[in-house]
Structure 1
Amino acid sequence: MRTKKNILYSTFIGLNVEIVNSSQHALIGTKGRIVDETKNLIIIEKENGKEVKLPKVACTFRLTLDDGSTVDIEGKRVAFRPHERPKKV
């Protein structure tokens, strides 16, 4: 189970996300479910089914965890490939 303590070491795929801060102001407020993640991007599917690619380093993400709680994560802290993140965080 993904919690606030272990989220940086876990995969984000399947979690709901909202952009709460970004250097690209048009992205703020964007919401959806994470469907994929790369070193530099988080890819979400919005409610209308459209996929949007979000740059990690430009955004602060609010993730809704499995228990319903939320956690804010600065994208620059997780700008690694998902399988490399546990070694580098």
Structure 2
Amino acid sequence: MELKQALAQAIKELRKSKDLSQETVGASQSYISDVERGIKSPSVIKLAELAENMGVHPLTILAKSYLLADPELGVDELLEQLRRELEEI
């Protein structure tokens, strides 16, 4: 799956799992609809706002996106890669 579509799906799945409407998570329902359909991609600032409104860390949305984009990638593998790379910085 393309990363842009994976991000759209991750945002939609997370919003639905929290039983939130599009209106409650973003600036406007039409904007969230466009994001969830992959028409628009949120900026880092907007992604942080969406995450806050859904009660999660922005990295949760990004991690879910990468997991959806690469079905062979596991959660533990992704977290280990992040841990290793962050320690190297």
Higher relative contact order (CA 8 A, sep 6+): 2
TM-score (norm 2): 0.30
Q: Could you tell me the TM-score, scaled by structure 1's length?
A: 0.30
Instruction: Tell me which structure has the larger Cα radius of gyration.
Output: 2
